[in-house]
Structure 1
Amino acid sequence: MKKSILSIIVFAVALVFSNEVVAQDFPNLDKSPMDAATYPSSYRNSDKKVKVIYSRPQLKRRPVSRLAVAGKVWRTGANEAPEITFYKDVTFGGKEVKAGTYSLFTIPGDKEWTVILNTAKNVWGAYSYNESDDVVRVTGKVSRANENIEAFSIAFDGEEDAFNMYLGWGNVVVTVPVKG
């Protein structure tokens, strides 16, 4: 009896003073952190029309043209290609798009960018991009930002069912109209 009580006490003390923890390595913050943009952007509005999940590379004194090369397919951010989800059917850049989730790629240009919705998902970069998986290609008009945008950014604004998606980086702002 003494041995079993002593064993229970030793076990209880060992549990209380045990500092054994599951050895889990947590990564440092990503150099290009993940973000999300929605429309409407109000956090309390649960009736979203669109959401984009993307990573935000920084310029760090580099020109946009070095990171998003003109005439070449770009992943539109960093790390994985962004995923854009439309919760309802929309007209994206003048073309009909069914509700669903798509990868977002772009081809930069001086006066306009080609903005691509593609069926491939969970894609790292644009390395495995396949044009045959494109759903639509639309033209995004380029304008110039008033101030330098250090971190690549995606934003939406508009009124009700007519809004714009903006891609901004450096002094470049690309606009794609959306209706839905």
Structure 2
Amino acid sequence: MKNSILSIIIFAVMLVLSNEVAAQKFPGLDKSPMDAATYPSSYRVIDKKVKVIYSRPQLKKRSLAKLAPAGKIWRTGADEATEITFYKDVVFGGKEVKSGTYTMFTIPGDKEWTVILNTSTNVWGAFFYNESDDVVRVKGTVSKANKSIEVFSIVFEGEDDTFNMYLGWGDTIVTVPVKG
């Protein structure tokens, strides 16, 4: 009887230890969590025209000018560079763009931002940005937000095949028209 109790105890201890070894360690929420924006934005629509995958940095009492300096290339979010996928050919900011996935960079400015679609995908930040990989550069118009936007955001709004992409952060909203 002592041997069976001892065997059960040893088995229980080994079982507990084996779970400890196999336990996974999952990271907490990222400081700039990844998100996606689509058009149409309804999840029930199967025939999407565009999807953007990006990370959402927060101002946290910092200035937009410090985080996305005017005149300098910016990854348009945080962490990995923002990727935009067009599911069919579109006119983006007045320029024709073939369907496919591109990295989206921006160059902030006071009255307009340059929005860049680039063929280099799966890149971290703008550290390896190469202008020779640009597909198009378009101008996005700048307007003031009614209230400050704490977390960098991208949304699409419009009707049917004519819509706008909006980038919002701080008191800045950048608008790029899209037709698809």
TM-score calculated relative to the size of structure 1: 0.91
Counterpart of 1:57 in 2: which secondary structure?
A: coil
The equivalent residue for 1:154 is 154
Distance (Å, rounded) in 2 between the aligned partners of 1:44 and 1:14: 50
The equivalent residue for 2:15 is 18
The equivalent residue for 1:141 is 141
The equivalent residue for 2:63 is 63
Give the AA of the match of 1:36: A
The equivalent residue for 1:42 is 42
CA-to-aligned-CA distance 1:16-59 (integer Å, 9 cap, x gap): 97122214221111000000000000010011000000000000
The equivalent residue for 2:54 is 54
The equivalent residue for 2:74 is 74
Give the AA of the match of 1:109: G
Distance (Å, rounded) in 1 between the aligned partners of 2:132 and 2:38: 28
Relative to structure 1, is the Cα distance of residues 16 and 47 closer, same or farther in structure 2, using a 3 angstrom cutoff?
farther
Count of residue pairs the alignment pairs up: 171
Counterpart of 2:36 in 1: which secondary structure?
A: strand
The equivalent residue for 1:131 is 131
Give the AA of the match of 1:80: E
Over the residues paired in the alignment, what is the CA RMSD in angstroms? 1.6
Q: Report the identity percentage.
A: 73
Distance (Å, rounded) in 2 between the aligned partners of 1:105 and 1:113: 10
TM-score calculated relative to the size of structure 2: 0.91
The equivalent residue for 1:88 is 88
Runs of 4+ residues deviating >3 angstroms:
13-17
Distance (Å, rounded) in 2 between the aligned partners of 1:106 and 1:97: 17
